[in-house]
Structure 1
Amino acid sequence: MAGGPHLPAPDAQNPPAPDAPRLLAPAAGAGPGAWQPPPLVYRGFFLNGSGYGEESRGLAQELIRRGYALRVDPVGPADPAALGPPELAFWQGLAAAPVDPARAVHIVAQPPGMAQRPAAAPWAVLRTMFETEVLPREWVQPMSRFDAVWVPSEQNRQAFVAAGLPGDRVRVVPGGVDPDRFRPGLAPLPLPMRRGFAFLSVFDWQYRKGWDCLVRAYARAFGPEDDVVLYLKVTTSNKPVSPEAELAWYLRAEGIAPERMPPLVLLTRPLPAAEMPRLYASADAFVLPSRGEGYARPYLEAMASGLPVIGTAWGGQADFLTPETGYPLRIQGIRPVPRYEPLEVYRGLRWAEPDADHLVDLLREVWNNREAARQRGRRARQQVVERWSVAAAADRLEAALRDLVEESGEYGRSGREG
């Protein structure tokens, strides 16, 4: 195991993928035909490296390019480790854009437990997601004050409706990634202990992500003589933990001797968002046996990068991860979240349990049949380009926005109870 390798700064030979501000000048003649884009106030995590932040920045830049007047309302502190000073300054500057909140559509991109309709918003949309079979029911009433709730996947739509939200209020508006940023052929990062074949997993260090299942399956699938390495690129945004200490404890508890398995490398050092495409370019395959995902952004980033992807066949990724474009991982069933889950928000709910035996088989299949895996990765990228790009996501958001304004009237719900 190894943590926190040195990652070099971008240079002329290894340029980063394009930053968001470079795309934000409105295109000539922008605007979707006769449709007059309403002004927008977009509240979200614009200043950090979270999945919510990545999606919000990508969609906002595309909407501005299409001619929308847009003001951002940043939530939370800025994270200089994820965004450089020019990009932070850009998004902070958009907080003063000349948009009248009393005449705008408000898009609130936050987790459902934080959802509060902006006061006096003529229209208000909640862009949100969650990771379990159903939501806590105490979240339903605050969410019902929104004119619409947009979720990224069919599994999320079912979970929100099952919690009590009206079905006609919840709409699937899938997200997307930028296939020009995440693409094959980028210069890889110089990762430590590189071997002939590299699996990569990207996630926040928590039980939901299934890292325990992945480590156990990896130790069963390969031995120290196999020319393979597994990289775990992790963050710890949800709780102050030591991934190194928890991983060492887990290996001891499972009786897994590190010297009897191939390298498993923890990458814990913060990585700027502009360098993430090069991380995917450093791997041969992506794997994440998550117990629950709302959006599943890392899967799409890996697919856009042309990697074969192993992922749980339940949750947000089930909308796009198919046997033709990836390696869906069977589940053993929908299980209660264990009582020892440290994040209270999940306790008492249910999520999927990935099939560890099937994961062993899939790891070996990808490793043994590399050309077939590469072909599947190429098909996955093509699918992202055609259906799961930021531009495609903006098309779907724009259609939902048009329906909202045309159906709800001049003042929407004006904050009335659902």
Structure 2
Amino acid sequence: MTGTGVYWMGPVYDMGGYGNVSRNYLRALESAGIPVCIHPIGGEHHAEIGSETRRWLDSLSTDRLGPRIVCVKHGTPDFFEQPVAAPPAVKTVGVTLFETDRLPIGWAELCNRMDEIWVPTRFNYATFSQSGVIPSKLRIVPYPIDVTKYYPGKPYNRIVFQPPLRSFSFLYVFGFDFRKGIDLLLQSFCDEFSPYEDVSLVLKVYIHSGYSPAFVMSEICSHIPAHRLQSQIVVIVEPFDEERLSDLYLSCDAYVSTDRAGWGMPAMEMMALGKPAIGLNWGGYTEFMNESNSFLIEPEPHLVPVDDKLQRDRPHYYGNHYWADIRPEKVRAAMREAYANKSKRERIGKKAAFDIHFEFSPEAIGQTIKRLIEQS
């Protein structure tokens, strides 16, 4: 017998990565014709997701799920155990990921109490199974993207900065966290490009997890020479809704990330728009980025311990966690090539848009989810 509907528990009103992923999975369920009841987790509606998205979430949710309900819990595994009311289910699924070479202490046991665990990448299939999650419980379900919002040639309103951006601009969009590699990116940019070159770096920062805007700005600006701040390196902390974020993507020329990403949704969104992206050839990015559709930053052969600040700030990363060793010269080389090689930028941007639209649309991922629901 097949599952007849999904009870989705996740941070659907959050503007951060988990919220974006939850909403995109819901679009995949919608495209597959699977009824879904939405149980929001994580507090109040986040203003940045916009009124149109909130109306869509309200209209999508239904209590008519049929007799065989699949309960999906989207978040970190410690959420899987929280006593939250949910209807009886024929199968309970946890949806999660992690960025390092292993799982935090206790996560494998929590995952093994679920009937299935959905992870977005082959990288996480390996790290979860090597950390003790029963392989037969693991399923790879990549993150989809709403390709009706991100496509080449999309009309937009160019964002004008004061002073204006230079003729070529890199963009990095991230929620502030010590795993995002902002110190590495800023060092690499400042070392590679002189203050007199016709190139800008734009940082769009989401502030969450208890950080204050003053702390975030102080931390970021500590890595930026004063004469480059706002003249060549622009830091944006004010809220952007989805449409304004799309305008920002289209107002810049290339995306760059030094995040040891579990996935990297902003890079994916930029690629869907036909823009070239730079990312690490390690971890979650390798699920959708390759030499034909991206500029890749090659890691060193051996892994290194995660950042000390991250270990102090986030208990999940404490202990013997390792991740890619990324050298500034490799970041510099990738940025220089993207800046200097226009023909390659154009070729990569076209291939990126094709790959994302063909392989990661809600329709494509919806069929993967439908097959899993039908096995319930």
Q: How high is the TM-score relative to the length of structure 2?
A: 0.90
Residue 143 of structure 2 is matched in structure 1 by 175
1:31-67 residue CA offsets vs partner (Å, 9 max, x unmatched): xxxx966111011111121222222223323423433
Residue 176 of structure 2 is matched in structure 1 by 205
Residue 349 of structure 2 is matched in structure 1 by 377
Aligned residue identity for 2:9: R
Q: Say whether 1:285 aligns with 2:263.
A: no
C-alpha contact (below 8 Å) 1:219/1:261 kept by paired residues:
no
1:382-410 residue CA offsets vs partner (Å, 9 max, x unmatched): 1111112222111212222223x1xxxxx
Equivalent residue for 2:329, pick from 357, 365, 373: 357
Aligned residue identity for 1:104: I
Change (3 A) 1:89 1:97: farther
Residue 150 of structure 1 is matched in structure 2 by 118
SS at match of 2:271: helix
Residue 238 of structure 2 is matched in structure 1 by 269
Equivalent residue for 1:248, pick from 215, 221, 224: 221
SS at match of 1:149: strand
Aligned residue identity for 1:284: D
Instruction: Kindly state the Cα deviation for residue 237 of structure 1 after the two structures are TM-superposed.
Output: 1.5
1:323-380 residue CA offsets vs partner (Å, 9 max, x unmatched): 1110110113321123332222212222222221011111111111112212111111
TM alignment of 1:320-335, pairs within 5 A: 320-332=288-300, 333-335=302-304
Unaligned runs of 5+ residues in structure 1 are 1-34, 406-418
Mean alpha-carbon deviation: is it higher for 91-100 or for 267-276? 91-100
Change (3 A) 1:60 1:260: closer
Aligned residue identity for 2:135: G
Q: Say whether 1:232 aligns with 2:220.
A: no
SS at match of 1:201: strand
Residue 7 of structure 2 is matched in structure 1 by 41
C-alpha contact (below 8 Å) 1:223/1:262 kept by paired residues:
no
Mean alpha-carbon deviation: is it higher for 337-346 or for 387-396? 337-346
Q: Say whether 1:63 aligns with 2:29.
A: yes
The RMSD of aligned alpha carbons is: 2.3
1:184-219 residue CA offsets vs partner (Å, 9 max, x unmatched): 323243141311001001111122111111100100
Residue 111 of structure 1 is matched in structure 2 by 76
Q: Say whether 1:82 aligns with 2:48.
A: yes
Equivalent residue for 2:282, pick from 302, 306, 314: 314
| 1: CA distance, partners of 2:323 / 2:160 | 33
| 2: CA distance, partners of 1:367 / 1:115 | 44
Q: Say whether 1:390 aligns with 2:355.
A: no
Q: Which has the larger radius of gyration?
A: 1
Aligned residue identity for 1:111: T
Equivalent residue for 1:299, pick from 267, 283, 288: 267
SS at match of 2:268: helix
| 1: CA distance, partners of 2:196 / 2:223 | 22
Instruction: Kindly state the Cα deviation for residue 318 of structure 1 after the two structures are TM-superposed.
Output: 0.8
SS at match of 2:238: coil
Q: How high is the TM-score relative to the length of structure 1?
A: 0.81
Aligned residue identity for 2:346: R
Aligned residue identity for 2:167: G
Change (3 A) 1:262 1:310: farther
Change (3 A) 1:366 1:65: closer
Change (3 A) 1:108 1:260: closer
Mean alpha-carbon deviation: is it higher for 122-131 or for 80-89? 80-89
C-alpha contact (below 8 Å) 1:62/1:390 kept by paired residues:
yes
Question: Percent of pairs identical after alignment?
Answer: 26
| 2: CA distance, partners of 1:313 / 1:359 | 11
C-alpha contact (below 8 Å) 1:234/1:266 kept by paired residues:
yes
1:275-306 residue CA offsets vs partner (Å, 9 max, x unmatched): 3222211111000011x222221221111011
Change (3 A) 1:188 1:124: same
C-alpha contact (below 8 Å) 1:74/1:92 kept by paired residues:
no
| 2: CA distance, partners of 1:190 / 1:154 | 37
Instruction: Kindly state the Cα deviation for residue 131 of structure 1 after the two structures are TM-superposed.
Output: 1.0
| 2: CA distance, partners of 1:257 / 1:80 | 33
| 1: CA distance, partners of 2:28 / 2:110 | 29
What number of residue pairs does the alignment pair up?
Answer: 364
SS at match of 2:47: coil
Aligned residue identity for 1:336: P
1:242-271 residue CA offsets vs partner (Å, 9 max, x unmatched): 3321123234xxxx4535996100011111
| 2: CA distance, partners of 1:359 / 1:261 | 22
